[in-house]
């Protein structure tokens, strides 16, 4: 079972920060999952929410702030300085570091609330620049965005994110050209995993933090789980 650290190691470290990604690498995750938004001046920033409020204790939308303004913030709000100040990283900063590691990276395009101009192209060009195209999975709840990414590069791996039951998700995924299912784990069952396997689609449910559930998903045949606790899950499957 492959382990992807959700937002790094979000259960133990400030989510979507360098220290969280480094922790996922330290404990042996095969890859990390991260979220991408675009700033007012076109920089790709690694943060989950459209707003900075929850993770920094400050206020504002990423789309309305410049890179310089965002970089002044501290994303360690929830952890109350336990790990020192943790800036919101740019995607470039994370990819530059990933290139020095063997990690895989699941980039979630967070364009399901706001449209970010040319997001897919900007991400693809960055992946080419850092030589990471073969170590990436692009995912999104906005499946049109995945279709756009494939239209620019038909060989870029994509995965549909979904949180509710879909009819025949394996058929649907192929209809939008995707290579994998990234479902909320609650939507999965044996029939779906078997059909996906038959059609050579990988299945990587999120966000799996419970050991019994992880074991059940492994027995179902899932390829990977995306978890806030990569250390705990690594111990379970090593």
The binding site for ligand G3P (CB under 6 A) comprises 6, 33, 35, 48, 108, 139, 161, 182, 206-207, 226
SS3 state at 3: strand
CA distance 74 to 11: 18
Q: Which does 161 bind (CB under 5 to 8 A by kind): Ca ion, ligand G3P, none?
A: ligand G3P
The CB-nearest residue to ligand G3P is: 206
Q: Which residues bind Ca ion (CB under 5 A)?
A: 35, 108
Q: Nearest approach, Cβ of 159 to Ca ion (angstroms)?
A: 11
Report in angstroms how near the CB of residue 190 gets to Ca ion at its nearest: 26
Structure tokens, 41: 């001046």
Please, which residue, 66 or 144, has the CB nearer to ligand G3P? 144
φ, ψ of residue 98 in degrees (nearest 5): -55, -35
**Residue 170 interacting entry, from ligand G3P, Ca ion, none, C-beta within 5 to 8 Å by type:** none
What SS3 class is residue 86? coil
Nearer to ligand G3P, 69 or 112 (CB): 112
Q: Please say if 198 is a catalytic residue.
A: no
CB atoms under 10 Å from CB of 97, counted, come to 16
Pair of tokens at residue 37: 């938004």
Nearest alpha carbon to residue 177 among 204, 207, 146, 152? 146
Q: Tell me if residue 48 is catalytic.
A: yes
Q: Which residues are catalytic?
A: 6, 48
């Amino acid at each position: 079972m492959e382990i992807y650290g959700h937002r790094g190691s979000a259960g133990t470290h400030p989510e979507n920060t360098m220290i969280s990604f480094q922790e996922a690498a330290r404990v042996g995750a095969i890859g990390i999952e991260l979220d991408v938004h675009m700033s007012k001046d076109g920089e790709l920033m690694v943060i989950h929410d459209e707003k900075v409020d929850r993770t920094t204790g400050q206020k504002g939308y990423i789309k309305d702030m410049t890179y310089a303004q965002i970089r002044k913030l501290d994303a360690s709000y929830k952890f109350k300085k336990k790990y020192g100040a943790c800036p919101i990283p740019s995607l470039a900063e994370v990819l530059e570091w990933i290139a020095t590691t063997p990690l895989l990276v699941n980039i979630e395009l967070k364009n399901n609330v706001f449209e970010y101009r040319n997001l897919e192209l900007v991400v693809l060009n960055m992946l080419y620049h850092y030589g990471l195209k073969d170590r990436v999975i692009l995912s999104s709840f906005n499946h049109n965005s995945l279709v756009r990414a494939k239209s620019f590069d038909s060989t870029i791996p994509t995965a549909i994110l979904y949180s509710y039951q879909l009819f025949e998700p394996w058929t649907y995924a192929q209809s939008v050209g995707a290579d994998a299912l990234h479902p909320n784990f609650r939507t999965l069952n044996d029939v779906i995993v078997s059909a996906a396997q038959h059609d050579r689609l990988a299945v990587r449910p999120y966000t799996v933090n419970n050991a019994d559930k992880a074991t059940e998903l492994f027995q179902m045949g899932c390829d990977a789980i995306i978890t806030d606790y990569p250390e705990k899950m690594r111990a379970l499957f090593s």
